[in-house]
Amino acid sequence: MNLQNPLKRWAVKEGGAYAFLSPYALMFIIFIVAPVLMAALLSFTFFDTIQFPRWIGLKNYIVLLTQDDIFMRYVLPNTIQFAVIVGPGGYALAFILAWMLAQLPRIPRAVFALILYSPSMTSGVAMTVVWQAFFSGDPNGYLNSFLLQLNLIQEPIQWLQSPQYLMPVMIIVTLWSSMGIGFLAMLAGILEINPELYEAASLDGVSSRFQEIFYITIPSMKPQMLFGAVMAIVSTFQAGAIGVTLSGSNPTPQYAGQLIVNHIEDYGFLRYEMGYAAAVSVVLLLMVLFFARVANRLFASED
């Protein structure tokens, strides 16, 4: 009886909260935890989707790091270059634009926020059509036509088929569509800061906008900054379709736009080497977790 009373009290006090959390917890386990665990297990097997998975230990990881020339020479460097530029670049751009919009009156701010956010809601097909027309390699492409009229080039440039230009185009397109939910979170965080903090800071000697941002704005919105950083990291590393859709080929020309996600799709859905694709996905997960941990150290609350 003594054991039942504490259990009953706990059920009355906490049972409702766990009941509300249980649907989310169940979906999280089914669609997040279970797939991650299955991918981790499959990465130690040979699995061609026909035969039952056969345990091979670390062979997939050894092959990936020592024998996969495409991964080591093209995919990994491309992914790192893309992530280093697009991740911090898109994150900084989102913060700067959010801060600028916060200085506007409510109605203009809402209009410009919708304009900046709308590219992230655009479907991949619509985005591809617009940018393929802009970077088209024929003389009628918008960029080529403009440069030819100014006599800056003598013949059309194959922007989407040239290994020299494909990665810069991918970066430009991704930055253009990077003002997503993280951007809105930063804007909301800036608007929630108490204006009296700026007034008090001005009395303490803070005289410039840069000092206000560094000493007041960023420290006051660390949760939103962390959320924006995590979203930027995840969206950057999961990007993969952009190079393939722009160039119209998989693999991309001379693997110039090939990212880790493309490598996973190549082995998983074209070659049906699911065990090897799972090993690549685990490497991608570890990279995301590492950078998310770095972001957490930078912006996590000290409380």
Average pLDDT over all residues of the chain: 85
Please give the backbone phi and psi of residue 153, each rounded to the nearest 5 degrees, phi first: -135, 155
pLDDT at 47 over 60: yes
Choice between 234 and 157, residue whose per-residue pLDDT is larger: 157
Average the pLDDT over 42-67 and give the result: 92
Q: What is the pLDDT of residue 63?
A: 94
Average the pLDDT over 71-83 and give the result: 90
Q: What is the pLDDT of residue 124?
A: 55
In the chain, the domains with their CATH numbers are: 69-299 (1.10.3720.10)
d(C-alpha 200, C-alpha 206), whole Å: 9
pLDDT > 90: what percent of the chain?
23
Tens-digit pLDDT profile for residues 254-288: 898 899 988 998 899 888 999 999 999 999 999 88
Tens-digit pLDDT profile for residues 149-195: 888 888 889 998 988 999 999 888 888 877 878 888 888 889 988 88
Q: What is the pLDDT of residue 1?
A: 46
* Helices 274-299 and 59-66: angle between axes, nearest 10 degrees: 80
pLDDT at 227 over 90: no
Tens-digit pLDDT profile for residues 2-29: 545 677 777 777 777 778 888 888 999 9
Is residue 218 very low, low, confident or very high in pLDDT (cuts 50, 70, 90)?
confident
Q: What is the pLDDT of residue 206?
A: 77
pLDDT > 70: what percent of the chain?
94
The three-state DSSP-derived secondary structure of the chain is: CCCHHHHHHHHHHHHHHHHHHHHHHHHHHHHHHHHHHHHHHHCCEECCCCCCCEECCCHHHHHHHHCCHHHHHHHHHHHHHHHHHHHHHHHHHHHHHHHHHHCCCHHHHHHHHHHHHHHHHCCHHHHHHHHHHHCCCCCCCHHHHHHHHCCCCCCCCCCCCCHHHHHHHHHHHHHHCCCCHHHHHHHHHHHCCCHHHHHHHHHCCCCCHHHHHHHHHHHHCHHHHHHHHHHHHHHHHHCCHHHHHHHCCCCCHHHCCCCHHHHHHHHHHHCCCHHHHHHHHHHHHHHHHHHHHHHHHHHCCCC
pLDDT at 220 over 90: no
Average the pLDDT over 53-60 and give the result: 93
Is residue 243 very low, low, confident or very high in pLDDT (cuts 50, 70, 90)?
confident
Tens-digit pLDDT profile for residues 89-104: 888 888 999 999 998 9
d(C-alpha 247, C-alpha 128), whole Å: 10
